Amino acid sequence: MTSASNEPRPAIGEDEAGGLLTIDLAALVANWRTLAAKAGGAETAAVVKADAYGMGIDEAVPALYAAGCRTFFVAHLVEARRTRAAAPDAVIYVLNGLLPGTAAAYPAHDLRPVLGSQEEVEEWAAFCRAGAGRLPAAIHVDTGMNRLGLRAEAALQLAEDAELLGAFTPSLVMSHLVSAEEPEHPINVRQIAAFTHVRERFAGVPASLSNSSGIFLPQAPHFDLVRPGYALYGGNPTPERANPMRPVVQLEARIIQLRWAPDGETVGYNGHWTAQGRRRIATLSVGYADGYLRTASGTNLKSGGEALVAGVRCPFAGRISMDLITLDVSAVPEGAVQRGDKVTLIGNGLTVDEAGKRAGTIGYEMLTDLGERYYRRYLPAGQ
Ligand SMILES: *Cc1c(COP(=O)(O)O)cnc(C)c1O
């Protein structure tokens, strides 16, 4: 057993919660193992930024650590400190790099910045020279994202700069793929080639390129370490093929009331959904304030989100409001659904990827938007 608990995070009772979030830590661990097997000899890290994509750092990190994961990536220092508390001797990298003046926080918690620009490299080297010692840091090389990372030419120059490079310990050289979920996209091959060229100049420094989807590319650009995030949490890293990952999240919403919308009347704000015939409407106690994106609203012209009610797929009817979703449950036998019942918004075959698509976005955004009002239940990892 890991430290998983069935304690909800906010002080909220299961019966009073509008929504219930069940997070399967055994599935999370199984996904990490699937990715580790796929990565072959490379080390398999875990990306746990944004509170482990909404799953909870405090629960996800100990489960992954117990399974054998020893390297974690976060975006912010505060996430790194929480990860450190959950995994006392793991290696922890901060992807967003070194904000001015924050260097001292790294050795204080044994954290490593991912240095993403020449300025950051220089600030880190100066901090190390000023007495901190040759502290480890990753070097981020930009091979096409134009977001973070030293340009390849600058990285090649840095590789020759013994004085700058000698001030600290480069512990990882990494880059990030632009379109790994599209295996045919020509930029994959270009980035792999550019990265291979740069990493060869950093002799003896481990290299990392692949996110979740990168692990599945035909070129298998695993290098020394892979950095999956989304696939750990059940997202499909191979959108054009069946999902090799196990679902981790189940999201259920409670029905507050059932009512009849008369033929021709509208449901919800601004009247964008009109009942065609008398329709039975279930009002759910989840809304956009819970992170269920309003862009999943259903109108007569554009279908939106769906929920499973007693095993039947039912469409959202009208605008999602702050705290409520209205659902057309006319297809469900009248006696099979009652006030207080739970319906499934994610789970039982309604995937995170599909929910994202129905909201006009990606599953990543659905996961990381999951709100704080849910009753959270963690299924233990076991071992
Ligand atoms: C978020 C992130 C990852 C993980 O990406 P997934 O697509 O979620 O697997 C890996 N590397 C970097 C630099 C990232 O920002």
**pLDDT (0 to 100) of residue 11:** 80
**pLDDT (0 to 100) of residue 7:** 59
Q: Please indicate, yes or no, whether residues 133 and 213 belong to a single structural domain of this protein.
A: yes
Question: 59: CA distance to ligand 1 center in Å?
Answer: 20
Distance CA 283, CA 179 (A): 39
Residue with structure tokens 């904000």?
99
Amino acid at 381: A
pLDDT at 16 over 90: yes
Express each pLDDT in 268-278 by its tens digit: 999 999 999 99
**pLDDT (0 to 100) of residue 382:** 83
Express each pLDDT in 183-205 by its tens digit: 999 999 999 999 999 999 999 99
Q: Is 314 part of any domain?
A: yes
Q: Please indicate, yes or no, whether residues 166 and 297 belong to a single structural domain of this protein.
A: no
Q: Which DSSP string corresponds to 29-49?
A: HHHHHHHHHHTTTSEE-EE-H
Question: 95: CA distance to ligand 1 center in Å?
Answer: 9
Q: Please indicate, yes or no, whether residues 176 and 108 belong to a single structural domain of this protein.
A: yes
Question: Which residues sit in the known binding site?
Answer: 147, 322
Question: 219: CA distance to ligand 1 center in Å?
Answer: 18
Mean pLDDT of 161-185: 97
Q: Which of 2-16, 115-129, 178-192, 274-288 has the lowest mean pLDDT?
A: 2-16
pLDDT at 41 over 80: yes
Q: Is 152 part of any domain?
A: yes
Final residue in a domain of this structure, among 173, 203, 233? 233
pLDDT at 166 over 70: yes
Q: Please indicate, yes or no, whether residues 329 and 294 belong to a single structural domain of this protein.
A: yes
Q: What is the mean pLDDT of the chain?
A: 96
Q: Please indicate, yes or no, whether residues 228 and 328 belong to a single structural domain of this protein.
A: no
pLDDT at 4 over 60: no
- What percentage of residues in the chain have a pLDDT greater than 70? 97
Number of domains in the chain: 2
Query: From the alpha carbon of 176, which atom of ligand 1 is closest?
Result: 13
**pLDDT (0 to 100) of residue 12:** 87
* Strand, coil or helix: 379: strand
**pLDDT (0 to 100) of residue 374:** 95
> Is 229 touching ligand 1 by the criterion CB < 6 Å?
yes
Q: Please indicate, yes or no, whether residues 229 and 253 belong to a single structural domain of this protein.
A: no
Nearest of 326, 329, 308, 350 to residue 271 by alpha carbon: 326
**pLDDT (0 to 100) of residue 2:** 47
Q: Which DSSP string corresponds to 300-320?
A: SSS---EEEETTEEEEB-B--
Q: What pLDDT band is residue 9 in, cutting at 50, 70 and 90?
A: low
Nearest of 245, 346, 249 to residue 292 by alpha carbon: 346
Cβ density class 53-72: b for 16+ within 10 Å, e for less: bbbbbbbbbbbbbbbebebb
Distance CA 364, CA 374 (A): 18
Amino acid at 228: P
Q: Please indicate, yes or no, whether residues 43 and 192 belong to a single structural domain of this protein.
A: yes
Express each pLDDT in 213-239 by its tens digit: 999 999 999 999 999 999 999 999 999
Count of CA atoms in the C-beta half-sphere (13 A) of 349: 5
**Domain that includes residue 321, residue range:** 249-350
Query: From the alpha carbon of 114, which atom of ligand 1 is closest?
Result: 13
With the most atoms of ligand 1 within 8 angstroms of its CB, the residue from 212, 227, 367, 368 to mutate is 227
Which residue minimizes the CA distance to atom 13 of ligand 1?
176
Pairing outcome for strands 342-346 and 249-261: antiparallel
Query: From the alpha carbon of 212, which atom of ligand 1 is closest?
Result: 9
Q: Please indicate, yes or no, whether residues 95 and 196 belong to a single structural domain of this protein.
A: yes
Question: Which residues sit in the known binding site for substrate?
Answer: 147, 322
Q: Please indicate, yes or no, whether residues 221 and 279 belong to a single structural domain of this protein.
A: no
> Is 95 touching ligand 1 by the criterion CB < 6 Å?
yes
Helix pair 77-86, 57-67: axis angle to 10 deg? 50
Q: Please indicate, yes or no, whether residues 160 and 290 belong to a single structural domain of this protein.
A: no
The residues carrying an active-site annotation are 49, 269
With the most atoms of ligand 1 within 8 angstroms of its CB, the residue from 96, 176, 191, 233 to mutate is 176
Neighbours of 51 (CB within 10 A): 18
**pLDDT (0 to 100) of residue 1:** 43
Distance CA 193, CA 173 (A): 15
**pLDDT (0 to 100) of residue 383:** 57
Pairing outcome for strands 225-226 and 306-309: unpaired
Q: Please indicate, yes or no, whether residues 168 and 109 belong to a single structural domain of this protein.
A: yes
Question: 261: CA distance to ligand 1 center in Å?
Answer: 45
Q: Please indicate, yes or no, whether residues 320 and 286 belong to a single structural domain of this protein.
A: yes
Mean pLDDT of 254-273: 98
Q: Is 141 part of any domain?
A: yes
What CATH number did the domain enclosing 34 receive? 3.20.20.10
pLDDT at 240 over 80: yes
- pTM value is 0.96
- Tokens describing residue 163: 């004085």
Distance CA 216, CA 330 (A): 42
Mean pLDDT of 145-154: 97
